[in-house]
Every structure is written in structure tokens, then in C-alpha cells.
Amino acid sequence: MERPVRHGGNLREAARRYAIPLEDWLDLSTGINPRGYPVPPVPPDAWRRLPEEDDGLAESAARYYGAPLALPVAGSQAAIRALPALLPRGTVGVAPLTYGEYAPAFARAGHAVAPLDIDAHALPDALDHVIVANPNNPTAGRLSRDTLLRWHERLASKGGTLIVDEAFADVDPADSLADETARDGLVVLRSVGKFFGLAGIRAGFVLAAPAVVDELRNTLGAWTVSGPARFAVEAAFGDREWQRDTRARLQRDGARLAALIASHGFDVRSTPLFAWTETPDAPALQHALAARGIWTRLFDLPGMTTSLRIGLPGAEGDWARLALALKEIRA
């Protein structure tokens, strides 16, 4: 039986385990912007009417991402489950420590899954398809556009595909391949859950060549994104002032979080939305924080050093709570 993939955000599980009421927790177990986009009131028609694909959302997404074409989907997860069956069976390279849904989805569809060392910036010849999260979740590693385009060229030359998950790219999209997605053999996945802080509406986008978009649309069927979600995303994409101010704030807050954790003796890698530390003490650190009502995400894969991902606090009181907890634990 296939083991379920663990994710952050499982706060009810933590509340039961530590017998701390749900409302008393500080949830830092995800990489979601804690001060998300303030969605305007949803028009009544968004609740009553069936969603319409020609409402302009796909075009708004293409403009926002700078892509030739965009397909709205029910979060990246919908595309991750559907894409493996649309690609020729082969060997798929996936980093051992990355978003955990990719490897089982491709294995389930009959692909062979091989470990990919993204820190080596090298692409093994045996791979037919490659999945890269850029920046990577949770290790915060990044690959340049030039590297990814070289990888794509090698894979496409033998009928392979490069899939780039850019869920955390909105704050700093300099290495995004969104503008290159008219190329055959290149698929980019984007999410509104992280930067916009709208994970609950389950909306994302596939950026790819027309043939892939059409095939994926036919596979997923009608009404993949709800009317209220479409309204929220359209509003978020159009609010350029909020986007500008939020990018600047998240850059500051990400650096602040990394500095806070490093000040207590941990080696840190970070993005503007989370910090990651690799240490044998990660299980004990997660437990000690949880005993104080602070939930984080533990990674404890067999054969790998344990590590901890810590998301951004929101209010100043949350920052003070995390700082005090780290101080007490290290003391």
C-alpha cells in the first residue's frame, strides 16, 4: 500500500498530539504568506453560476506570469496527478528532498523514478524527464535560467520533458521560465497559494505549449476552478500595488527569519517565504517548539540528515513568540 505523502499545515494533528487547543498554536509549518491578499467581497453570481472558461482568467494569468498561454487548474496538485500519464514512459529525475507528491505520481503512472542531485547542477544522461522545484521546497536551492534551459534542450532533443515547479518564484521571478513555455517539452507550474497566501482556494496554473494545455484540459475536464476562486485570483492578479509592497515585505521578512534562526547556531538556507535548517537535532527542535505551541515541518527521510522548515511569522507578537522559544530551547 502506498504511503500517504506528509505535508505541512496539519495543525489539528499537532493539537491532538500535544493536547494544546487549536487556537493557541502558531502555525509555521508551511511556506504560505501569513499576510495574504485581502480578497474583496465575492459577488453573489460567483456562488450561483457555473464557472466559465472564457471569463478572462487564463489571459490574466498569462499576463501576470509573462507566459504565452496559461491553463487554470485546481492547484498544482491537479496537474501533478494528471501530467505523468500524458508523458511517454521513461526514467524521471526527482530530487530526493523536494515537494513529495512528484515521485509517487510518476511511479503510479509507470515511470521509473531516479534521484536527481540539483545542487550538482548536472543532468545525468539516463533521464528522460526531469522535475525541478525552483526555488526548491524545502532546501531553498535555486537553479539559473541558463542551467534549466540547457537541461530542457537536452531532454527535448530526445522527446523528454522538463517540468519546473515555480510555486515559490513570485517574490523573485528572475529565474522563471514562464516566458519560454511555448517550447515543446517544457512545462511550468505556478501557484497562487504561497505568495498571495490563498492556499485554501486551490487554484494554480499550468504554463505550456498549446498541445500540452489542450491535452491537460481534456484530461481534467470542466469546472476545475470554482467561481469564487476565479474571482479571488483575478482580483489578486490585478492588484499591482499590493504585489509590489508584498514582494518588498517578504524579502525583508525572509532575511529576518533566516537571521533569527542563524543567531541560535543553526546553518540556514532560505527563501523569502521559509527558512530551512539541516541538523541531527531537527526532531528534538520540532518537539521543543511544538511543546510551546509552535508547529514546524520536520523532514526525516531514511538515509538523509533530518531537517526542519520554518515558515514566516505574521504579527510582531508571533515573531517575539518564536524568538523567545528559540532562546529558551538553546539555553
Tens digit of each residue's pLDDT (9 = 90 or more) over 13-34: 999 999 999 999 999 999 999 9
Question: In this predicted model, what pLDDT tens digit does every residue of 245-293 receive, in sequence order?
Answer: 999 999 999 999 999 999 999 999 999 999 999 999 999 999 999 999 9
Which class would CATH give 11-31+241-330?
alpha beta
Residues above pLDDT 70, as percent of the chain: 99
Asked if 102 and 182 touch (Cβ cutoff 8 Å), the reply is no
- Positive or negative: CA dihedral 252, 253, 259, 262: negative
pTM of the full predicted structure?
0.95
Predicted local confidence at residue 312, as pLDDT: 98
Closest CA to 28 of 236, 292, 252, 259: 292
Contacts for 122 with CB less than 8 Å, ≥ 6 apart? none
Closest CA to 118 of 147, 160, 146, 90: 147
Domain ranges of the chain: 11-31+241-330, 44-238
Predicted local confidence at residue 196, as pLDDT: 98
Predicted local confidence at residue 3, as pLDDT: 64
> Is the predicted pLDDT of residue 6 greater than 90, yes or no?
no
Predicted local confidence at residue 118, as pLDDT: 87
> Is the predicted pLDDT of residue 2 greater than 70, yes or no?
no
- Positive or negative: CA dihedral 274, 250, 99, 24: positive
> Does domain 44-238 match CATH 3.40.640.10?
yes
